[in-house]
């Protein structure tokens, strides 16, 4: 969620905010696990496990917010947070979820990748962020094969995460 939505939800008595729209990416490994990531301490949800992704901002006046635009947003978030450069055309709309605070999420499925590539790209993107004096948005990734493995990850989990991991690993 954007910090604007985060801040508005914390104003006592504020009822004027609207739910946010977010995108995320189910990034499988070539052996059937799913990449999950932990938010760093500098974010609005420190320590929370979730899929790579983020809020979708309203389109500019002349632009359309359609599936192509949402897929592009998901690919951008995946690249920014994990270093994985899937093209928007490689992502498939997979499911729609409801998150915390009535937010709506669109999950896109990415093509499988090797564990080595996932680890290497994540380490590179976090090192680049740190080299520029910034705190990476994600501080850790994990690869899970089941809801039971997901439950072993310490810390809060995004409300949608368990159902998505279960749906993916049960197929």
Reduce the DSSP state of residue 165 to 3 states and report it.
helix
Helices (H), ranges, the chain:
3-9, 67-82, 115-131, 147-151, 161-169
* Domain architecture of the chain: domains with CATH: 20-169 (3.90.79.10)
What string of pLDDT tens digits covers the 171 residues of the chain?
444 555 545 556 655 556 788 999 999 999 999 999 999 998 889 999 999 999 887 788 888 999 999 999 999 999 999 999 999 999 999 999 987 677 899 999 999 999 999 999 999 999 999 999 999 999 999 999 999 999 999 999 999 999 999 999 886
Task: Say if CB 74 and CB 91 are below 8 A apart.
Answer: yes
Cα–Cα distance, 168 to 51 (Å, whole number): 13
Output the pTM of the full model.
0.87
Residue with tokens 């810390």: 155
């Amino acid at each position: 969620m954007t910090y604007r939505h985060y801040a508005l939800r914390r104003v006592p008595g504020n009822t004027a905010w609207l739910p946010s729209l977010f995108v995320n990416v189910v990034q499988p490994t070539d052996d059937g696990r799913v990449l999950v990531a932990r938010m760093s301490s500098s974010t609005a949800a420190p320590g929370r496990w979730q899929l790579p992704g983020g809020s979708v901002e309203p389109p500019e006046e002349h632009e359309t917010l359609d599936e192509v635009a949402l897929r592009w947003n998901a690919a951008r978030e995946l690249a920014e947070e994990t270093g994985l450069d899937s093209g928007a055309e490689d992502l498939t709309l997979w499911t729609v979820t409801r998150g915390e605070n009535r937010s709506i999420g669109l999950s896109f499925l990415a093509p499988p990748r090797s564990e080595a590539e996932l680890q290497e790209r994540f380490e590179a993107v976090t090192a680049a962020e740190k080299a520029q004096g910034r705190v990476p948005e994600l501080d850790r990734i994990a690869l899970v094969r089941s809801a039971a493995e997901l439950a072993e990850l310490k810390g809060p989990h995004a409300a949608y995460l368990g159902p998505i991991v279960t749906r993916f690993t049960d197929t």
